[in-house]
Copies of this chain bind each other. A is one copy, B any other.
Amino acid sequence: MSGEFALSLDATDGCARRGTLSTPHGSVDTPAFMAVGTLATVKSLDPDDLTRAGAQMILSNAYHLHLRPGDELVRDMGGLHRFMRWDGPILTDSGGFQVFSLATLRTVDEDGVTFRSHLDGSTRRFTPEGVMQIERNLGADVVMQFDHVIPGQSDAATARDASERSVRWLARCLEAFAATTPPHGREQALFPIVQGGIHESLRREAASAIAQMHDWRGFGVGGLSVGEAKPEMYRILDVVGDALPVDRPRYLMGVGFPEDLVEGVRRGMDLFDCVAPTRMGRNGAAFTSDGRLNIKRAEFRTDPRPLDEACDCAACARFSRAYIRHLFVSDEMLGLRLLSLHNVHFLVALMRSARDAIANRTFTAWSQRWLDRYHSRPDTQE
């Protein structure tokens, strides 16, 4: 495949794949971690921080931006790239996950979802067509379909109902998307989302129904990391990885932690996103090669070492654990920023190492070594 949104695979090792995804705003080396900029800002970070961390593609959220500042305002300000000054690729999540997270605040019918804004309680309605218009207005490179998301442990009947509705909504998304043009001229790609809960046959059915509908540029894998056990997620990834076309990018939505990224790459996933690095960073938790550490612990009070001695991020290159701990203990904002920066850098660099291992056909051994070391020091876990 060539042209915009083409995935060029240059190496594989087992199911793990290394490639380059092209977009109208530049290309992305895959597998890749996308930092999450829910409200058109990756919390506590500057776009320049992300560039320096090596991030190539970020994610933003249609639900949140629709409510605040409004997708039409973003459109009028030149689109999301220009508004937030991120010139690289952007993906927008459709709001499916957010709307269904509202629990008692929403009602689903075949046409769409009525819900109350988490900000002011006002009644809102999302339909596949409405969400496509929102994502057109925002102008991200990749836009996700509006889907019906269910809890990770849902039974087969519930999962089938939601998955089949998601496929019907996908057809409406595709029609609405095809009937509109990007307001800022740059091409956008609509990605479907494979649902089906933890039920292998439902996942295969969804993948098949979606693939028959259209020649998609890429695929989202949704409804994972939403409460199911990790082995269940890995089992479903094995199934979905087999069911999707080899030459299109697979985006594992909302995942995840460092170990989940490694396990996802091992199962043929190409793109990942998660709020964990910034959310945990704001809470004082840092990813390191030796596992997680909580910088607020007294043991770091006079520790002159960087968060991770193997890391070359803007925090580790300059600051001691003692200083960053002082910032956290004193509620100083620089502390939140440094840990967020480090954690995003850590996941971006982890995916770079994975790409190198795939290119060298040493992914299996590398990933096992990496996971063993990451899990080796329970005393530094939070």
Given A69-B301, A302-B76: A44 and B322 interface contact (C-beta under 8 Å): no
A68 CB to nearest chain B CB (Å): 6
The CA of A235 and the CA of B330, in the complex, are separated in Å by 39
A332 within 8 Å of B (CB atoms): yes
A83: nearest chain-B partner, CB-CB: B323
Asked whether, in the complex, the Cβ of B77 is within 8 Å of the Cβ of A332, the reply is no
CA A371 – CA B87 in complex, angstroms? 39
Determine whether A326 belongs to the interface, using a CB cutoff of 8 Å to chain B: yes
Binds B, one of A90-98, A268-276, A333-341: A333-341
**In the complex, per-residue mask of A294-326: 1 if CB is within 8 Å of any chain B CB, else 0:** 000000011010000000001000111011001
By a CB distance below 8 angstroms, the chain B residues around A83 are 320, 322-323, 326
Q: Is the CB of B320 within 8 A of A77?
A: yes
Q: Does A156 contact B (CB under 8 A)?
A: no
Report yes or no: B69 in contact with A333, Cβ–Cβ below 8 A.
no
Of B318, B326, B337, which is within 8 A of A333 by CB? B337
Binding site for B on A (CB under 8 A): 39-41, 43-48, 68-69, 73, 76-78, 83-85, 301-302, 304, 314, 318-320, 322-323, 326-327, 329-330, 332-334, 336-337
B318 touches A85 (CB 8 A): yes
* Chain B residues with CB below 8 A from A327, complex form: 39, 41
Q: Which 10 A-B pairs have the closest CB atoms?
A: A69-B326, A44-B333, A85-B318, A41-B334, A39-B330, A41-B332, A77-B322, A83-B323, A68-B330, A39-B332
Which listed residue (B47, B68, B322) contacts A329, Cβ 8 A? B68
Identify A319's interface contact among B45, B78, B85, B326, CB under 8 A.
B85
